[in-house]
């Protein structure tokens, strides 16, 4: 994840404008400036994930927000990038949006190493959790399970996220006022 600036992108004549829409995968040519910001000098579209469905848009935004909050700046994360690409491809075709969201969150949190407490799950829940982590999104869409198990898994993921955000805010608070 990097911070970049695109000059003149709001002009109607800008060629970069459409390439920089949210959830649009693009090739970018970047120029390193003196500060932390890069300058986007050229852009071309690879793919676009569009939806007019509000629920679908909410799921995609929550996945993006998770990545935004967990990803360290300027560190390549090829596994996460590929997972997000796969997620953006399957979500518009999927009818089980909540299940896809749970699977995405589980996979991301697993890659970042935030799992604990799975031993408290029943055997059936552990099996489902392992299935979510090991399976592709296509296979997950074919899954037929009871909704209450998904709720328990979702609640567990939410508690992990709360712990992550608490730790991040403690770190942020402890570093306030530091002159780096």
Angle (CA) 120 124 130, round 5°: 80
pTM score over 0.95: no
32 and 65 share a domain? Answer: no
22 and 69 share a domain? Answer: no
How far is residue 81 from each of residues 7, 19, 51, 67, measured CA to CA in Å? Answer: 26, 18, 20, 10
Examine residue 179 and state whether it is found in any structural domain, yes or no. no
111 and 154 share a domain? Answer: yes
37 and 61 share a domain? Answer: no
What is the structure's pLDDT at 80? 92
Range of the structural domain that residue 84 is part of: 54-174
Q: Is the dihedral of CA 103, 106, 108, 111 positive or negative?
A: negative
23 and 92 share a domain? Answer: no
Contact 73, 3 (CB under 8 A): yes
What is the structure's pLDDT at 83? 94
Examine residue 19 and state whether it is found in any structural domain, yes or no. yes
Regions in the chain scoring below 70 on pLDDT: 94, 115-118, 145-152, 164-180
What is the structure's pLDDT at 171? 42
What is the structure's pLDDT at 145? 61
86 and 124 share a domain? Answer: yes
């Amino acid at each position: 994840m990097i911070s970049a600036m695109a000059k003149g992108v709001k002009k109607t004549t800008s060629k970069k404008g459409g390439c920089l829409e949210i959830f649009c995968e693009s090739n970018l040519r970047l120029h390193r400036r003196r500060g932390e910001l890069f300058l986007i000098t050229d852009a071309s579209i690879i793919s676009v994930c569009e939806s007019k469905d509000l629920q679908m848009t909410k799921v995609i935004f929550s996945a993006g927000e998770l990545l935004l909050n967990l990803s360290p700046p300027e560190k390549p994360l090829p596994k996460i990038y590929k997972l997000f690409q796969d997620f953006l491809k399957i979500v518009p075709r999927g009818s089980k949006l909540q299940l896809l969201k749970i699977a995405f969150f589980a996979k991301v949190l697993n890659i970042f190493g935030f799992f604990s407490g799975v031993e408290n799950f029943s055997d059936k829940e552990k099996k489902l959790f392992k299935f979510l982590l090991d399976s592709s999104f296509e296979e997950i869409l074919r899954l037929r399970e009871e909704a209450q198990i998904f709720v328990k898994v979702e609640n567990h993921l939410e508690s992990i996220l709360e712990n992550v955000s608490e730790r991040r805010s403690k770190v942020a608070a402890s570093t306030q006022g530091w002159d780096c």
